[in-house]
Structure 1
Amino acid sequence: MTQEFSPLIVGIGGTSRAHSTSELAVRCALLAAERLGARTRLIDGALISGLPLYVPGRTERTDDEMAFISAVRECDGVIVASAGYHGSITGPVKNALDLLEDLARDNRPYLDGCAFGAIVSAFGWLACGTTLVTLRSIAHALRAWPTPYGAAFVPEGKVFEQDGTALDAKIGDQIGLVARQVVDFARWRKAGSAI
């Protein structure tokens, strides 16, 4: 019996506030991916908030930028969680995704062939919808495959434990579905490439 492929799923999310709802949402997704047998790597709010502003053509990179680029370069799928600020993704999430321009000339340019799961938390449903559309549009621009399901929720009170365990079963189920679709797609793609 062959061992099942264990894809590497990179979770990107959070804000400059420690343990933000979007960071805990991506932690929740990575926990679900791990339960499905995936390997995971978290790129949290502290890391993305500390990245220098992306400057096209700049060749010097900080250690954090290099670690981020390296993780994404190796991944089989990504899950991005953003808060909805004024109807769109946060500045740190956008800046981190802009940095993926460094992958443009790789053998696998950008996120070509990777599943891309999107999760949004916002204080209104309009911001949830527009932010989710923004993430999915960015996924297309990066040549990724947005999962059919994207999770969006309006947090009411405490939604997660600090490790990412969902306290709201409905939100946990939504995030788990995103994680499952990313992991499944990574496995299907690997199986297809072996043919």
Structure 2
Amino acid sequence: MIQDRPLILGIGGTPRRGSSSERALAISLKAAEDKGARTILLSGAELLLPMYIPGQSPSDQASRLLVALRECQGIIISSPAYHGSISGLIKNALDYAEELRTDARAYLDGMPVGCIACAGGWQAVGQTLAALRTIAHSLRGWPTPFGAVLNTSTALFDVEGNCTDVATRRQLETVGHQVIDFVRMQSRDRQRAHSIPIDAMAAP
């Protein structure tokens, strides 16, 4: 049943199809699918949105992003490192979360956020991961304990997009697993809370 299969949204990549950050995101989402999640991947041209302007009516593409943000129970973000931080493409997409500020679940409140950073060196990838986690906190999300960092100065993917490095693949799968596991823990906690009789919660 659909209600038993949480929706995980993936945002990432670059305008170039098949980028390392897009391929990494696809592997993490597949790991979540293998544990029973439904997934949506928004990347490349799907994230070529108008610059976010508060109060301006969103484009059709931006509206699709907002629908996905409202419906998902978890999110995975994968960004390349651009000059020591996340790319403008990813930052602009995340800025649209401001439209959720008055929702019952404001921004990404309480949502698990898996973070993936890709760069051509270790220094930039570390800074980018830190930036992703800071943004997740600012949007009231819960970054997963494990964040994947990919040094793309060496080839990590084949032409079909498969990860050829075992350690890297395990990183990406761990991110996907932690997001879906966190969603399920939250669901169990809510079910337990609803099953407790009101009298049992009353003070003696």
TM superposition score normalised by structure 1? 0.94
Residue 54 of structure 1: which of 48, 52, 55 is its match?
52
Structure possessing the higher radius of gyration over alpha carbons: 2
Q: Is the 8 A contact 1:28 1:163 kept in 2?
A: no
The one-letter code matched in structure 1 to 2:166 is A
Give deviations 1:43-89, integer Å, cap 9, x for gaps: 112111x200001221x111110100000110010000000111100
Residue 97 of structure 1: which of 94, 98, 101 is its match?
94
For 1:177 and 1:5, how far apart are their aligned partners in 2? 21
> Offset of 1:3 from its aligned partner?
9.9
Query: How many pairs are equivalent?
Result: 192
> Offset of 1:16 from its aligned partner?
1.2
Tell me whether 1:177 sits opposite 2:174 in the alignment. yes
- Alignment partner, residue 5 of structure 2: 6
- Alignment partner, residue 18 of structure 1: 17
> Offset of 1:193 from its aligned partner?
1.1
> Offset of 1:163 from its aligned partner?
5.9
Give deviations 1:87-145, integer Å, cap 9, x for gaps: 10000000000011011100000111110000011011111111000000000011100
Which 5+ residue runs of structure 2 have no aligned equivalent? Answer: 193-204
> What fraction of aligned residue pairs are identical, expressed as a percent?
46
For 1:166 and 1:62, how far apart are their aligned partners in 2? 34
Which 5+ residue runs of structure 1 have no aligned equivalent? Answer: none
Instruction: Give the 3-state SS of the residue equivalent to 2:82 in structure 1.
Output: coil
For 2:171 and 2:3, how far apart are their aligned partners in 1? 25
Q: Is the 8 A contact 1:14 1:46 kept in 2?
A: no
Q: Is the 8 A contact 1:26 1:79 kept in 2?
A: yes
Q: Is the 8 A contact 1:120 1:151 kept in 2?
A: yes
Residue 131 of structure 1: which of 128, 131, 136 is its match?
128
Give deviations 1:139-172, integer Å, cap 9, x for gaps: 0011100000000010144423466432211110
Instruction: Give the 3-state SS of the residue equivalent to 1:82 in structure 2.
Output: strand
- Alignment partner, residue 106 of structure 2: 109
- Alignment partner, residue 191 of structure 1: 188
For 1:32 and 1:164, how far apart are their aligned partners in 2? 15
Instruction: Give the 3-state SS of the residue equivalent to 2:79 in structure 1.
Output: strand
Q: Which has the higher contact order (CA 8 A, sep 6+)?
A: 1
Q: CA RMSD in A?
A: 1.7
The one-letter code matched in structure 2 to 1:35 is D
- Alignment partner, residue 65 of structure 2: 68
TM superposition score normalised by structure 2? 0.90
The one-letter code matched in structure 2 to 1:106 is D
Greater Cα shift, 123-132 or 156-165: 156-165
